[in-house]
Amino acid sequence: KAGVTQTPRYLIKTRGQQVTLSCSPISGHRSVSWYQQTPGQGLQFLFEYFSETQRNKGNFPGRFSGRQFSNSRSEMNVSTLELGDSALYLCASRGELGPQHFGDGTRLSIL
């Protein structure tokens, strides 16, 4: 069974731009969560989507948004990028009552 796939793996943007990250979950998984990992703040929860609906949300500004499609694939969008948005963004998918399985992440660098 294929794992969680995140694209792209690396991304370089400049301040003020916007970016879209993609996540394809494990087949059959309907829950997709996003996390931000930085050296200073560690791993922080962004949001979770289940059956195309946002089910849970972390404490991030409105510049961070997401969506989920009918095939459970998810995208995360960050608008008006700031230097502090440089991070590894991890996506995780989960089956019914199962643990979360993570992708290898997208490393976003803001110049």
Partner 1 sequence: AQSVTQLGSHVSVSEGALVLLRCNYSSSVPPYLFWYVQYPNQGLQLLLKYTSAATLVKGINGFEAEFKKSETSFHLTKPSAHMSDAAEYFCAVSGNFGNEKLTFGTGTRLTIIP
Residue 40 has which token pair?
């200073």
- Please state whether beta strands 106-110 and 10-13 pair in parallel, antiparallel, or not at all (unpaired): parallel
Determine the interface stretch with partner 1 among 14-22, 38-46, 60-68, 73-81 (rule: CB under 8 A): 38-46
For the CB of residue 60, give the shortest distance to partner 1 in the complex, in Å: 12
Query: In this structure, are strands 53-57 and 74-78 parallel, antiparallel, or unpaired?
Result: unpaired
Part in contact with partner 1 (CB under 8 A); list of ranges 13-21, 61-69, 71-79, 101-109: 101-109
Round to whole Å and give the CA distance between 49 and 36.
15
Q: List contacts with partner 1 (CB under 8 A).
A: 4, 6, 33, 35, 42-43, 45, 48, 56, 58, 90, 92, 94, 97-105
